[in-house]
Amino acid sequence: MSKIAIIQDAPRILDREATLDKATQLIAEAAAEGARLIVFPEAFVPGYPAWVWRLQPGGDWSLCEQIHQRLLENAVDLARDGLATVRNAAREANVTVVMGINERDGSVGRTTLYNSLVVIGHGGEMLNHHRKLMPTNPERMVWGFGDASGLQAIDTPVGRIGALLCWENYMPLARFALYAQGIDIHIAPTYDSGESWIGSLRHIAREGGCWVIGAGVALRNRDLPDDFPERDRLYPLEEEWINPGDSVVVAPGGELVAGPMHEEQGILYAEIDPARAAGARRTFDVAGHYARPDIFTLQVNRRKQSPIEFEPGNNGVAE
């Protein structure tokens, strides 16, 4: 058995360094309770851009630019080791950390943001880096499109894990790509919530014969900074909860074993047995004995995508 922890707490919205400080404290707290796998929500650093669902598409242009600039300035640049504090915290606590971030591309263009998910090993090493394949609806005004270079199953001390962000979990082929790698635990950080979303996670547990960890965003009005532009118009004071969270842990077969944690902030714990995943696939292994490769096959392009490739040269230095 392994103890896992879902961090259903609010970041310091639009403040990267304060959010990273809070994350390290939460990692230490969860580890002290015996958690070996610690999962943060979608876009935890420096917060999910919930405002995109309230701003008028094509309108509120100056307001969009104002907020986006702050998000850009507080996003994580992995090329500059922007998660060093989290990596150190994982190493000191001897835990595996899965964390959603707003990532600023530090190598191409330097101004595009991605909705990214990282897996940090118990030694502090970066095990995987995945960019959300398809931002959903107004999210496309915030994040660029990812690729499949991070569509990887990762071996950890608590089992073999795979992860998809939010509505990526509705993409059958993306799920199949992870099932085919034999995951024990499927991780789904998300901004979504409610009965229909939880129903989808329960379906994934049955379909994939795996544990499912749904890490939701629990955000209140008072979690927004006082200087958030037009805060009172976008989020009236009488509206306490902007998003309810609804984090869950689902066993192979679809049984809820923890959660939903609704309109509450804190840490959701659960004991899981990764070995149950193999037994759950005895009668239905969607990518194994239940597959029909003579009829259906899937090709996944794992090459990292880039709009430019530089040929070797002298970097502009005269010979």
pLDDT band at 319 (very low <50, low <70, confident <90, very high): very low
Candidate list 103, 132, 139, 210, residue with the active-site label:
132
Is 65 an annotated catalytic residue?
no
- Selecting among 42, 103, 139, 168, the annotated active-site residue is 42
71, burial (CB in 10 Å: exposed 0-12, middle 13-18, buried 19+):
buried
Interval 174-210: pLDDT, tens: 999 999 999 999 999 999 999 999 999 999 999 999 9
Q: Please, what sign has the CA dihedral across residues 25, 101, 207, 158?
A: negative
Q: Is 64 a catalytic residue?
A: no
In tens, the pLDDT along 226-257 reads: 999 989 889 998 889 999 999 999 999 999 99
> Is 48's pLDDT higher than 50?
yes
Give me the residue spans of the domains in the chain: 2-146+213-250+258-273
Q: Which of 107-121, 265-279, 300-314 has the lowest mean pLDDT?
A: 300-314
Fold classification of 2-146+213-250+258-273 is: Nitrilase/N-carbamoyl-D-aminoacid amidohydrolase (3.60.110)
The rounded distance, in Å, linking the Cα atoms of 241 and 235 is 9
Q: Which residue of the set 64, 103, 139, 166 is catalytic?
A: 166
